[in-house]
Amino acid sequence: MSKKIDLKMAIKRSSSDKKQEKLPRQRKNKSPSPQNNQKESQEILLSREIKEDLAQNEEKIRPHQLKDYVGQKDLKGVLNIAIMAAKQRDEPLDHILLYGPPGLGKTTMALILASEMGVSCKITAAPALERPRDIIGLLVGLQPGDILFIDEIHRLNRVTEELLYPAMEDKRLDVTIGKGQSAKIRSIPLKPFTLVGATTKIGSLTSPLRDRFGLIQRLQFYELDELTEIVLRSANILNVAIDQCGAQEIARRSRGTPRITNRLLRRVRDYVQVKGKNKIDQVLASEALDLHNVDRLGLDWTDRLVLSTIIEQFKGGPVGLDAIASATGEDSKTIEEVYEPYLLQIGFINRTNRGRIATPEAQQHLKI
Ligand SMILES: Nc1ncnc2c1ncn2[C@@H]1O[C@H](COP(=O)(O)OP(=O)(O)OP(=O)(O)O)[C@@H](O)[C@H]1O
Ligand SMILES: [Mg+2]
């Protein structure tokens, strides 16, 4: 039997998806053809975030080369060396873990790495890798040097994670075939590849997984001048006229986050267009962002709700995350991963082992 067929069988049989195996006969007959199966799994690979991005024309303003990636000097320095060294040796990049709050450019960097290395990038997210065959199919389909980008990598299930260990370390998949005492492990060789993982929660990664990354890099919030540069760059791509002060006003209210910068720019563009003006300046940018309830530090309605809840209902804290979540009606994960990092960064919240505290600066800002 040829190697190709062996491999196919291994992939097919490796699925330990119990639901699938326990399906009643009738349902099983109706199960999709292998082609449909493949199509389905391809579809789930396009994470929700990417679909939204596409819908919003985000791809147009996403930088595609390292030279267009604004800021993150340390990260770019490290990756530039890694790219040059790998190219000189004609080897794939080492596995890279990127972590940091949402919207700082992790996915963008993974795509840039692929384009700089001249390879393809397969994008997926941990929640889409539900069954062993999902990750096996992806790994087996990679060409030499390709990048596999796994977003939200802290959410991998145990089986998928364990399949990744030998894949990352020895370019090998260990697939269990059969069940119980007759179960056998078969090794499938893989082509050399680079795994780029992204996470907003590095602390939730298991150490065996974390330790298999050769480069672990944190993305920082962006400085005002960097965000201003991003506004000017995006405005240019979107064909929107803007002056320096207008760009700074948008940058100042962007919470150190390029995704927010681009979102605010679009809102200001709408405002300016409807007001019949042809150039964004500081006054128009302020008016538009005030209208959207984004204050002069970039805090929105939910940020202010979180802060005022800690200050007013819990006397400034310390208060646990779950208590804040139920008092505000927000999901505790969203508060922890989306809102809190910036409030911590600007010193409006402190984290103690007894819970969160709102600082006097937060009180001053909210005038409570
Ligand atoms: N360094 C940068 N220079 C210019 N634009 C950037 C930069 N980083 C990010 N962006 C812009 O911000 C948007 C969001 O970035 P990206 O999707 O890479 O964030 P992320 O870190 O992957 O977020 P998440 O954790 O939510 O997945 C991109 O579409 C891109 O246009
Ligand atoms: Mg992303």
Question: For residue range 107-159, what is the model confidence (pLDDT) as tens digits?
Answer: 999 999 999 999 999 999 999 999 999 999 999 999 999 999 999 999 999 99
Distance CA(107)–CA(51), nearest Å, equals: 13
CA 305 to chain centre: 25
Query: Looking at the chain, how many residues does it have?
Result: 368
Distance CA(58)–CA(260), nearest Å, equals: 12
Which of the listed residues 50, 104, 219 should we mutate to test ligand 1's pocket, taking the one with most ligand atoms within 8 A of CB? 104
Other C-beta atoms lying within 10 Å of the C-beta of residue 19: 8
Ligand in closest contact with the CA of 69: 1
Q: Are 209 and 164 in contact, with CB atoms under 8 Å apart? A: yes
How many CA atoms, within 13 angstroms, populate the side-chain half-sphere of residue 239? 1
Is the CB of 62 within 6 Å of ligand 1?
yes
Is the CB of 247 within 6 Å of ligand 1?
no
Is the CB of 132 within 6 Å of ligand 1?
no
Phi-psi region of 239 (alpha: psi -120 to 50; beta: other; left: phi over 0): left
Q: What is the pTM of this model?
A: 0.82
Distance CA(345)–CA(143), nearest Å, equals: 41
Among the atoms of ligand 1, which is closest to the Cα of residue 258? 12
Could you check whether the bond before residue 318 is cis, i.e. omega within 30 degrees of 0?
yes
pLDDT tens sequence across 249-264: 999 999 999 999 999 9
Which of the listed residues 61, 259, 266 should we mutate to test ligand 1's pocket, taking the one with most ligand atoms within 8 A of CB? 259
Tokens 């309830």 identify what position?
293
Mean pLDDT, range 79-84, rounded to an integer: 96
Q: Greatest CA span in the chain, whole angstroms?
A: 76
Give residue 2's pLDDT. Answer: 40
Distance CA(336)–CA(334), nearest Å, equals: 5
Give residue 55's pLDDT. Answer: 52
Q: Residue 60 pLDDT > 50, yes or no?
A: yes
Return the H-helix or E-strand segment holding 98: strand 96-99
Task: Clarify whether 281 is annotated catalytic.
Answer: no
Is the CB of 71 within 6 Å of ligand 1?
yes
- Beta-sheet pairing, 172-177 with 184-189: antiparallel
Mean pLDDT, range 161-184, rounded to an integer: 91
Task: Clarify whether 160 is annotated catalytic.
Answer: no
Distance CA(296)–CA(251), nearest Å, equals: 10
What average pLDDT does the structure give for the chain?
Answer: 87
pLDDT tens sequence across 1-57: 443 333 444 344 333 333 333 333 333 343 444 444 444 444 444 455 555 545 556
Other C-beta atoms lying within 10 Å of the C-beta of residue 145: 19
Q: Looking at residue 204, what DSSP letter applies?
A: G
Query: What's the 108 CA to ligand 2 centre distance in angstroms?
Result: 7
Give residue 56's pLDDT. Answer: 57
Ligand in closest contact with the CA of 109: 1
Is the CB of 69 within 6 Å of ligand 1?
yes
Tokens encoding 98: 């990127």
Query: What's the 62 CA to ligand 1 centre distance in angstroms?
Result: 7
Please name which of 68, 65, 71 lies closest in space to residue 225, comparing C-alpha atoms: 71
Is the CB of 47 within 6 Å of ligand 1?
no
Q: List 123's β-bridge partners, or say none.
A: 149
Is the CB of 197 within 6 Å of ligand 1?
no
Please name which of 167, 172, 183 lies closest in space to residue 13, comparing C-alpha atoms: 183
Query: What's the 60 CA to ligand 1 centre distance in angstroms?
Result: 12
Tokens 């200050």 identify what position?
311
Give residue 80's pLDDT. Answer: 95
Q: Name the residue with the closest Cα to ligand 1, atom 24.
A: 102
